Structure 1
Amino acid sequence: MTVPLRRTLPKRPGRARDACRARRRVHGPLTRNVLLAAAALPAAAAAWIGVTGWLARSELLAVQHDLTALRASVSTAAGTHPAGAVAAGSPAESAQERLLRSAAAHAARAHHLTTGPAWYTAACLPFLGEPLHTVRGTAEAADRLIGEVLSPLVRVVPRLSADAHAGGIPRVLTDLESQAPAFERATRVAAEVRDDAHRLPRSTWLPAADRARAQLSDQLDRLVPQTRDVVVAARMAPSMLGAHGPRRYFLAFQNLAEARGTGGLPGAFAVLRADRGKLSFEHFGNNTEMDGVHADVDLGAEFATQYGDNGPGSVWANSNMSPHFPYAARLWTAYWRTLTGQRLDGAFAIDPASLGLLLRATGPARMPDGTALTADNAVNLTERDSYAKYADVAARKAFFVEAARAAAGQLMHAADDPRTLPALLSAVRDVQREGRLQVWSAHAAEQRQLESRPFGGALPDRPGPFAGLVVNNAAGSKLDYYLDRSLVWAPGACTATGRSVTVTVRLTNRAPASGLPGYVTLREDRPEYRTQPGDNRLLVSYYAGKGASLTGATLDGHQVELIPGVERGHPVYTLDLELPRQSSRTLVLHLQEPQADRPPTILRQALVTPMLATVKPAAPCGP
């Protein structure tokens, strides 16, 4: 028998409603709990992030404390341990290992505290998550920086020190060469960490996070070039120091009292021999040996146009007018080959300020007449006092050679002593940092690496904003001891082809009105106009960025014409400038720079008084 449809339909909705009510009775409390938990989750996540963020901050502060102590420990060990050495297994070494391990542990904990779903999700939130993104990135960067960059660099120092004691310099060179792959890995990681740090938000609603990011970026910007220098040293120092066969180099001592493009006039010089790390000098001389000698080397049509036929290749005193050190080095080695027939493997250049920094690490040198050449008097004694002491030019040149010989002997003694070697290497780094050490290799593979580093002394030929002030003494005097220089690079309005830039150069001659020896104030240029003792004359050259053009220039507020030129793709604008004693001159250049959207690379010519350079900020071009 069939059941009537109209009798069954009404009952189904009732049963359905009862079932829904039953489910609500069963699941109602669970649903409410889920909703309450969901509502509380953001608050819990915020609390978790707050607590772990505070803990991570404490860990990062501990990292900073450990690294500061580590730097102080390294400096103290190099400066106060007998003769600057840190022996393997010494307490200083153990302290450095402990500090490094402590910093690594704190950094790892900070990284761990800022990972996980809550941090990942919150850091992805627009605006609110930006400082959390910065904190996470900073903690990760610190962890990688210490574990993968600083650890292999710091831990190799005791090993090299132990090698110096056990097997001498040859053993050090062998081990240094073997460490090059590890240094290269550390450099790659440092560059990756720097790039990651630069991609972090720069400006958020949390100033503390912004400051931490800025400090990290600044440290990485300094560290990455230093790690690259370490790689170049590990790759090249062994071969350049004769690990695979003897090498010979031309070593020029530049006289900063008479300015040249690479620093100062090449006065005294030496031929240096390197054999399995053992350094010795085969010859000392001065510029009079190069009288009448010519350097037969082709540096290209651009160089010949810029400096003329009767220039660097024909007159020794003009051999380093260009600021591009490889040009000077090639000329110097060519001069020596013409004079002696001997091929050299490269060239170095240092100056009295360099000797002062090096003697601070090794102790004073004693000259044959009993004069002490020290860190404090090296510049004044050779660049000023010797001119008053020796009226005879030949005697003064001999004094300069003896000063170079005495300093070189002291440095060689320090290089042979494992106890003084660490302090000496630290001083070499300081010399390089000030731009007072320049190196060139006649071996193409080595030179390619050298030219990419600051101590290669190369005028860069890549595009980008650039500002280079170079002075060459045109009077034949020794008055550049008293020269002050300043440069202000000020970006202006954006244009269709780039940006306008105003460069203000100020030069001051502090030479006294009386009391200077005639050789110092000598005017070998014999100008047709009247001059006073102490008046100077300079060829002032400004090197702009590739593709830049000069729209106008003034000297002390009056329009002036500059001589245009080109060197390694850089436009060069030169002024023949008379600079009277106790006076200042102001040169203003108005330029159009095609790529002035970032600060320029500054060329710093190393003279007695460093140049004061100021770069003013620029507003970005474009929408």
Structure 2
Amino acid sequence: MTEQGTPPAASRRPGGPRRDAVRVPGDGPPGAEARIRRRVLKAALLTVAALPVAAAVWIGVTGVFARSELVAAQRDLEALRQPAMSAQSSHFARQRLAAVRSAAVHAARAHRLTSGPAWYTAALLPVAGEPLSTVRGAASAADRLAGEVLTPLAGALPAAAPDGHGGGMAKALMGLRQYAPRLVRAAQVTAEVRADVHRLPGTTWLSAADRARDRLARQLDRLAPVMTDVSVAARVLPPMLGAQGERHYFVAFQNIAEARGTGGVPGAFAVLRADRGRLSFERFGNNTEMSTVDADLDLGPDFTARYQGDAPTRVWANSNMSPHFPYAARIWAAAWRKHTGERVDGVLAVDPVTLSRFLQVTGPARTADGTELTAANVVDLTERTSYARYGDLTRRKAFFVEAARAAAGRLMAAADDARTLPGLLLAAHGAERDGRLKVWSAHAQEQQLLASRPYAGTLPDTPGPFAGLVVNNAAGSKLDYYLDRSLAWQAEGDGCAAGDRPVTATVTLANRAPAAGLPSYVTLREDHPPYRTRPGDNRLLVSYYAGVGATLTGAELDGRPAMLSPGVERGHSVFTLDLELPARSRRTLVLHLLEPHADRTPTLLRQPLVTPVRTVLKPGGACHA
């Protein structure tokens, strides 16, 4: 017998552990295994509980760094606005591109800092994650804009030759041809980013994120149309500037002291030649030369029905009564071919305000008699002062041609200088944005691209809320220099209501012409009205363009019932009033309409005259269903 508790010798293995040293389930003190499980569970719970804290710390730290990167990117882009950086030497061109690339690097870092698992997961949380989603989206937008939009745009801008002169437009043409695919893609990216930013949460618990999102959305709302213009220009400007062969264009200078649908009555004109980016004017003339030319053109039954009494294809002064610029352009091109046998490749229209924008870049121009044309005086000189200075009609018309020739000469010299070319492009963009520079191409594919842009001057024929005030001078005077216009559009009722919606359009016209002291040519009444008038009294055909399918239920002029003539142009309902507007008077026309789709802000038609039209648009109650 062995001692009690000692195992038999046969049960031992040489070199092996003692049996009582082996832990098996169920052995050991009661509850030990439960305590171990509790410790493991507690550690796991602590780890899980610490994850949100760690994630919050990570988001906070990376958020600070991301904000720093975005601020750095913004500083780089702000530097592009400095006068030195806009200079067009090769040195500053390199600086410009370096600044854009630096902004792209900073924006990319901000995007990476807000793209990790912590940010992604936290942004999915309801309510709490909304501002994080906004921040992530804004960083992504900044990354794409800097890298895919601004970089190709900066590279496409021309740099000057070492001496700063020569070949500006030709070099810009080469740059457009080279960068066209990237510029088209940049416009697409801008549209995509704009849509993405507008989908981001706009009202969260973090006001700073909301403000940043709203600021970015506004910037994109301004940038997207510009990039679309750049995209269209990259595709149409090379052929239009003669990259594939010589082109010729009829250029009309509109006199906005006498209102017409596209702006002002066509006065002086020129023929512009473009050959591989080199521009030159071949001929100048005035409206007297074109006054007896019959364009012999059929623009369709709707156009004929609306304007047949004014004979726009036969009477040069009435050729642009319609606000749809392609109508006027086709008439002018057909009339020029009838007059000379020459076919033009397109038509451009400018006015003195456009010349003022260009002269601000080029500097003053001088006419043959020494008259100085500047950005500050060209509008007043051509639209008012010249009528008092030149009593003889022939001499006055000759002055208008000389003024156009002098301004065109400065413009051509500036277009050939890469230092001033970017400024001219910005001036042209401002003029086309205001509807003062209009372009039409006789080539169908080019015109199809141009048609959707503001500088095409097209009257859209698509359904939707619409508001347009168009005046045509019916007196033959030059009194529209003194004309003030305002238009207030207001939809009424519930935006959820089906069918047509009530709309009130209020038109106010004021004649600021002095009662005495104006030259007789300014105040003449070629309409010879059967009633008595005084010098300075004006007469206008006032047309209101409503949406497609709109109907007029009533109208008042100065508080009394008024009868308007109905018409249709490119699908739009048009209502016209023949209005006498005495000197120093103000008249108010109120139209009551029923208009389909009047549940949002209307598309606005702006007729460019000396004084811009003032507008107030009130879409009315929104739909909350």
| TM bucket normalised to smaller | over 0.9
Kindly tell me: are residues 381 and 168 of structure 1, through their superposed partners in 2, closer, same or farther at Cα, counting changes over 3 Å? closer
Kindly tell me: are residues 256 and 168 of structure 1, through their superposed partners in 2, closer, same or farther at Cα, counting changes over 3 Å? closer
Structure 2 residue 188 is matched with structure 1 residue 178 = no
Q: How many Å separate the matches in 1 of 2:168 and 2:483?
A: 44
Q: Which residue of 2 aligns with 1:527?
A: 529
Q: Structure 1: which 5+ residue stretches go unaligned?
A: 1-13
Q: Which residue of 1 aligns with 2:89?
A: 87
Name the SS for the 1:458 alignment partner: coil
Kindly tell me: are residues 605 and 416 of structure 1, through their superposed partners in 2, closer, same or farther at Cα, counting changes over 3 Å? same
Deviations 1:12-55 (A, max 9, x none): xx976979933323232221111122223223322322332233
Of 597-606 and 419-428, the range deviating more from structure 2? 419-428
Q: How many Å separate the matches in 2 of 1:532 and 1:425?
A: 44
Name the SS for the 1:470 alignment partner: strand
Q: Which residue of 2 aligns with 1:540?
A: 542
Calculate the aligned-residue CA RMSD, in Å.
2.1
Q: Which residue of 2 aligns with 1:591?
A: 593
Letter in 2 for 1:261: G
Of 394-403 and 152-161, the range deviating more from structure 2? 152-161
2:60 to 35, 39, 50: 50
Deviations 1:276-324 (A, max 9, x none): 2222222211111122221111111111111115421121100000011
Kindly tell me: are residues 542 and 288 of structure 1, through their superposed partners in 2, closer, same or farther at Cα, counting changes over 3 Å? same
Q: Is the 8 A contact 1:564 1:574 kept in 2?
A: yes
Q: How many Å separate the matches in 2 of 1:320 and 1:416?
A: 32
Q: Which residue of 2 aligns with 1:612?
A: 614
Q: How many Å separate the matches in 1 of 2:258 and 2:319?
A: 13
Name the SS for the 2:440 alignment partner: strand
Displacement of 1:498 in angstroms is 4.2
Structure 2 residue 452 is matched with structure 1 residue 452 = yes
Q: Which residue of 1 aligns with 2:562?
A: 560
Letter in 2 for 1:280: S
Of 202-211 and 444-453, the range deviating more from structure 2? 202-211
Name the SS for the 1:337 alignment partner: helix
Of 270-279 and 47-56, the range deviating more from structure 2? 47-56
Q: Is the 8 A contact 1:504 1:587 kept in 2?
A: yes
Q: How many Å separate the matches in 2 of 1:560 and 1:372?
A: 48
Letter in 2 for 1:24: A
Structure 2 residue 159 is matched with structure 1 residue 149 = no
Q: How many Å separate the matches in 1 of 2:473 and 2:575?
A: 16
Q: Is the 8 A contact 1:49 1:118 kept in 2?
A: yes
Percent same amino acid among aligned pairs? 63
Q: How many Å separate the matches in 1 of 2:145 and 2:310?
A: 53
Q: Equivalences for 1:34-73 in 2 at 5 Å?
A: 34-70=44-80, 72-73=81-82
Q: Is the 8 A contact 2:85 2:95 kept in 1?
A: no
Q: Which residue of 1 aligns with 2:553?
A: 551
Q: Is the 8 A contact 1:160 1:172 kept in 2?
A: no
Q: Which residue of 2 aligns with 1:26?
A: 36
Displacement of 1:179 in angstroms is 1.3
Q: Is the 8 A contact 1:160 1:176 kept in 2?
A: no
Q: Which residue of 1 aligns with 2:21?
A: none
Q: Equivalences for 1:150-549 in 2 at 5 Å?
A: 150-158=150-158, 169-494=169-494, 495-549=497-551
Q: Which residue of 1 aligns with 2:20?
A: none
Letter in 2 for 1:521: T
Deviations 1:209-249 (A, max 9, x none): 11111111111111111111112212111211112111111
Q: How many Å separate the matches in 1 of 2:585 and 2:368?
A: 39
Q: Which residue of 2 aligns with 1:139?
A: 139
Q: How many Å separate the matches in 2 of 1:529 and 1:69?
A: 63
Q: Is the 8 A contact 1:491 1:500 kept in 2?
A: yes
Name the SS for the 1:179 alignment partner: helix
Identify, as 1 or 2, the structure richer in helix. Answer: 1
Q: Is the 8 A contact 1:164 1:172 kept in 2?
A: no
Q: Is the 8 A contact 1:170 1:243 kept in 2?
A: no
Displacement of 1:171 in angstroms is 4.6
Displacement of 1:609 in angstroms is 0.8
Displacement of 1:548 in angstroms is 2.0
Q: Which residue of 2 aligns with 1:6?
A: none
Q: Which residue of 2 aligns with 1:10?
A: none
Of 429-438 and 18-27, the range deviating more from structure 2? 18-27
Name the SS for the 2:127 alignment partner: coil
Kindly tell me: are residues 176 and 216 of structure 1, through their superposed partners in 2, closer, same or farther at Cα, counting changes over 3 Å? same
Kindly tell me: are residues 50 and 285 of structure 1, through their superposed partners in 2, closer, same or farther at Cα, counting changes over 3 Å? same
Letter in 2 for 1:379: V
Kindly tell me: are residues 160 and 591 of structure 1, through their superposed partners in 2, closer, same or farther at Cα, counting changes over 3 Å? farther
Displacement of 1:170 in angstroms is 3.8
Q: How many Å separate the matches in 2 of 1:506 and 1:327?
A: 28
Q: How many Å separate the matches in 2 of 1:375 and 1:167?
A: 25
Of 255-264 and 420-429, the range deviating more from structure 2? 420-429
**TM-score (norm: length of structure 2):** 0.92
Q: How many Å separate the matches in 1 of 2:616 and 2:275?
A: 44
Deviations 1:142-196 (A, max 9, x none): 1111111111101222458789968664454233212110111111111110111
Q: Is the 8 A contact 1:261 1:605 kept in 2?
A: yes
Q: Is the 8 A contact 2:158 2:418 kept in 1?
A: no
Q: Which residue of 2 aligns with 1:5?
A: none
Displacement of 1:367 in angstroms is 0.6
Kindly tell me: are residues 444 and 106 of structure 1, through their superposed partners in 2, closer, same or farther at Cα, counting changes over 3 Å? same
Kindly tell me: are residues 113 and 446 of structure 1, through their superposed partners in 2, closer, same or farther at Cα, counting changes over 3 Å? same
Q: Is the 8 A contact 2:168 2:415 kept in 1?
A: no
Displacement of 1:480 in angstroms is 0.4
Name the SS for the 2:492 alignment partner: strand
2:576 to 550, 574, 577: 574
Q: Structure 2: which 5+ residue stretches go unaligned?
A: 1-23
Letter in 2 for 1:614: V
Letter in 2 for 1:41: L
Letter in 2 for 1:35: L
Kindly tell me: are residues 502 and 102 of structure 1, through their superposed partners in 2, closer, same or farther at Cα, counting changes over 3 Å? same
Q: How many Å separate the matches in 2 of 1:589 and 1:408?
A: 43
The structure with more radius of gyration: 2
**TM-score (norm: length of structure 1):** 0.92
Q: How many Å separate the matches in 1 of 2:458 and 2:611?
A: 21
